Structure 1
Amino acid sequence: MGNPVIKQQLLEILKAIDAICLKEGLSYMMTFGTLLGAVREKGFIEWDDDADLMMLRKDYNAFEARCQGHLAELGLFLDRSERVPNVALVEDPSIMVDLCILDALPKKPLHRKWQNFELKLLQGMMKKDVDYAQYDSVGKLLVFGTSTLGKFMTDAAKLKTYMRISQRANVGGADELFMSNGLYRFIGIPFKKELVAETVRLPFEDLELLAPAGWDQVLRLFFGNDYMTPKRENYYAEI
């Protein structure tokens, strides 16, 4: 069972983000387990104590520029110190809603592969306090190598480089997007623009929050075709 106090605090953060985006004319969408919970449970998945939203880059940039005053009034702040920015409680920054960002994928396959390699390398370089037990022997070597390489750059330099590479194709008007700051395994997954071009409101606990109009296909990308079947472990799709 998840912690009901934490879930209530997360709901308040989600409510605040929704209100700010509505006021500022911006969009966001539920994603990962939050979207899955909305569709399957109409709220939090039973064992979840976190929440995830995603934004198109233009909406995130506008949110970042305009949200600070709104958030401060509510005892919240936008933490941009990590690869995945989050909206967190001032009094307890461990209570937070992650903001995943959608950027354009390069049109040329070779450029996509190179960008994918660069971002995955940087994610490895950003790792701290690595739990090697979760990796096989090859994974241990890769993580050790990349995390060691990362020690030769400051955290700020790695983050700045990551953001620059993520946004490289945004000028070209590509037909496909990707979650540039998301989980390692999902960096290379393309989103057709039409999946996230429009939003719908779905019930989530005592709120109604925005979801991508193509939520079914988005959930299939993350969790596979059987996403409606509850699974406590290994519930992401095999990539």
Structure 2
Amino acid sequence: MKNKKLSSEEIKQIELNLLLKLDEICKKYKLRYYLCGGTLLGAVRHKGFIPWDDDIDVLMPREDFEKLLRLEKKQKQDAVEKIVSWKSGNSIYPFIKLINTNTVLKEKYLSEEFTTGIWIDIFPLDGMPDDEKIIAKKFKKIKFYKTILLTAYSEMGKGATWYAALAKRVLIPICKHLNTEKLCNKLNAISKEYPIDKSPYVGGFLWGYGPQEKMPKEFLEPVEVEFEGHMFPAPKCWDFYLTQLYGDYMQLPPENKRISHDFNVYMKENKE
């Protein structure tokens, strides 16, 4: 019996359940988090998911992010909704994911041996200096190590273009010799160089959009926004944040720019 492929609406419902689970964990352990990126845009513009998107991202201040990492070790091993990270060797990414273990998500261009269940991404929020050159330099460093990490786990012989696929045949074996945990630790070390309490600005260095991520500390003050019929925390300066990232964010993009994630999700076969 084959695993059942899930529809976009089924994927969104599972992701919403993951977000509700994260909210429950954060309330229990007094952890701060904020909807961010396309998830926050969806909340403000659509009061839920962007119709052609099925992704949930949140930002968590570094102190709270580190606490959540420590909670990973306390969770039940057979939990359906499970925290995973590079620290425990069950994720290849330098941030935290909350996954549904009853599902399998297959990403295009990612080697199948590194597939996990459907997830929501939890990124650290770090301090940023008041120096555009330093910020730009740090983002370039992060992009360099991020490219190495993603190349190491790409599917051999496949790519968006023929020369990308050809280049992977040479680069993947080289990148795979590098230690995943060390690469992830390096990315985090670069990102958290400026502590939030000693910095004039905050932003998502680790997996962010770029220098436009620099936000005033007003970002840390939470307000509630509606997302799929539930209320979740967002940064107080959400209008400034969304404008920095997307410009006129209330304007819908043309249809050819409404791009969804390129993956398939399956519900695992019930073996009972």
User: Is this a same-fold pair by TM over 0.5?
Assistant: yes
Per the alignment, residue 201 of structure 2 pairs with 176
Distance of 2:170 and 2:192 partners within structure 1: 26
1:84 aligns with 2:95: yes
Contact 2:80/2:101, CA 8 A, preserved across alignment: yes
Q: Between 86-95 and 4-13, report the one with greater CA deviation.
A: 86-95
Per the alignment, residue 37 of structure 2 pairs with 32
Per the alignment, residue 47 of structure 1 pairs with 52
Distance of 1:96 and 1:72 partners within structure 2: 17
Tell me how many residue pairs correspond in the alignment. 231
Per the alignment, residue 112 of structure 2 pairs with none
1:14 aligns with 2:19: yes
Report the AA paired with residue 91 of structure 1: N
TM-superposed CA distance for 1:167, in Å, is 1.3
Three-state SS of the structure 1 residue aligned to 2:160 is helix
TM-superposed CA distance for 1:68, in Å, is 5.2
Higher relative contact order, structure no. (Cα contacts within 8 Å, ≥ 6 residues apart): 2
TM-superposed CA distance for 1:146, in Å, is 8.0
1:166 aligns with 2:177: no
- Decide which of 62, 66, 83 is 2:67's aligned counterpart: 62
Contact 2:129/2:200, CA 8 A, preserved across alignment: no
Q: Structure 2 length as normaliser, TM-score?
A: 0.72
Three-state SS of the structure 1 residue aligned to 2:10 is helix
TM-superposed CA distance for 1:115, in Å, is 2.2
Per the alignment, residue 160 of structure 2 pairs with 133
Distance of 2:94 and 2:57 partners within structure 1: 14
TM-superposed CA distance for 1:83, in Å, is 2.5
TM-superposed CA distance for 1:85, in Å, is 2.1
Per the alignment, residue 209 of structure 1 pairs with 232
Report the AA paired with residue 181 of structure 1: L
Distance of 1:202 and 1:172 partners within structure 2: 26
- Decide which of 108, 111, 124 is 1:101's aligned counterpart: 124
Contact 2:224/2:232, CA 8 A, preserved across alignment: yes
Contact 1:223/1:235, CA 8 A, preserved across alignment: no
Q: Structure 1 length as normaliser, TM-score?
A: 0.81
Gaps of 5+ in 1: none
Contact 2:128/2:202, CA 8 A, preserved across alignment: yes
- Decide which of 180, 183, 187 is 1:155's aligned counterpart: 180
Gaps of 5+ in 2: 1-6, 86-90, 104-115, 260-272
Deviation string 1:154-210 (CA, Å, 9 cap, x unpaired) is 222211211111111227711112212224xx1333423334121111111121111
Contact 2:213/2:241, CA 8 A, preserved across alignment: no
RMSD: 3.2
Identity rate of aligned residues, in percent? Answer: 23
